[in-house]
Amino acid sequence: MATVLKTVKLPSALAAALARKAKARGLTESELIRQGIEQVTGDVDGLDMQAAIGADVGAGAGPSDLSTNRKRMSGYGRTRTR
């Protein structure tokens, strides 16, 4: 996996707390920061359309032969002239 270097400025108190927490957990500060970022951005992988639409999938009404019935397809794709 490719990595990207980011610089983060922290207030002194937060930097000290980060150092203490990383030492207590036996992690590097970078590992702890990555874990925190993953927690915050974990749900940002994209919108799950199936979950968003849910029960509405396939609920539309209309003819079932819309794309196969030649009568319904007549005139489809023709350019209108004005």
CA-only gyration radius of the chain, Å: 27
pLDDT of residue 58: 65
Residue position matching structure tokens 């023709």: 78
The answer to whether residue 63 sits within a structural domain is no
Per the structure, the complete domain to which residue 16 belongs is given by 10-52
The answer to whether residue 23 sits within a structural domain is yes
The answer to whether residue 82 sits within a structural domain is no
The answer to whether residue 65 sits within a structural domain is no
Residue position matching structure tokens 């539309």: 60
The answer to whether residue 5 sits within a structural domain is no
pLDDT of residue 76: 75
The answer to whether residue 42 sits within a structural domain is yes
pLDDT band with cut points at 50, 70 and 90 for residue 23? very high
**Count of domains observed in the chain:** 1
List, for residues 42-80, the tens digit of each pLDDT value: 766 667 777 777 766 666 677 778 778 888 777 777 776
Is pLDDT above 90 for 40? no
The answer to whether residue 43 sits within a structural domain is yes
Q: Is 8 exposed, middle or buried (0-12, 13-18, 19+ CB in 10 A)?
A: exposed
